[in-house]
Amino acid sequence: MKLYCSLTSPYSRKVRVVIDELGLGDQIEEVMTDRLTHRRIPRANPLSKIPALVTDHNEALPDSSLIVEYLQARARPLAQLPRGSQRWAALRRLQLAEGIMDAAVASVLEKRRPEGIIYSGFLDRQSGRIRRAVEAPVSMLPLCLCARSALSKSPPA
């Protein structure tokens, strides 16, 4: 399999972490690329976005969430999601983490525009989304933020 990815893409990092956690690194060739200049990406993803995975059957998977689901189906499963209300809390945290990534990427792309046409209202909305997600009740926070919050509140040794 070939994974078209970038070291600077949070979505690529998400897929690369899952590959490592599932022990699939020896089955996947990582092709580091820039979506703006790499000509093979449109064949792997007509949207010209990374990451994109081309399977052993030459099927192209064009989205990090789709890639993660495919990899989990191929490999030994990670820990199961809890059941009942805890499942929905875990999925809510996942969506908040995805939303934080989406807003951060959108902000970076907006800031790359020429200075005269950067839309500050758009940047303010993205910043607000990130702030509200980070300030959400602990039951809604991404797991990594919950752990960091708990560590920062622990008494000094």
pLDDT digits (tens, 9 = 90+) for 103-121: 999 999 999 999 999 999 9
Residue 30's SS3 state is strand
Element at 60 (helix H, strand E): strand 60-61
The answer to whether the pTM exceeds 0.85 is: no
Please, which residues bridge with residue 53 across strands?
3, 61
Q: What pLDDT is attached to residue 127?
A: 95
* pLDDT at position 72: 86
| Cα–Cα distance, 6 to 55 (Å, whole number) | 18
Strand order in the sheet with 60-61: 29-32, 2-5, 52-54, 60-61
- With a cut of 60, say whether residue 75 has pLDDT above it: yes
What pLDDT score does 152 carry?
Answer: 43
Report helix, strand and coil shares of the chain as percent, to nearest 5: 55, 10, 35
List pLDDT tens digits, range 127-143.
999 999 988 876 555 55
pLDDT band of residue 155 (cuts 50, 70, 90) is very low
Euclidean distance between CA atoms 24 and 29, whole angstroms: 10
Query: What's the length of the chain?
Result: 157
Could you tell me the domains of the chain?
Answer: 2-74 (3.40.30.10), 85-153 (no CATH)
- Among residues 60, 61, 78, 97, which one has the least CA distance to residue 19? 78
Q: By the 8 A CB rule, do 50 and 33 touch?
A: yes
pLDDT digits (tens, 9 = 90+) for 19-66: 998 899 999 999 998 766 666 677 778 887 889 999 999 999 999 999
Does residue 101 surpass a pLDDT of 50? Answer: yes
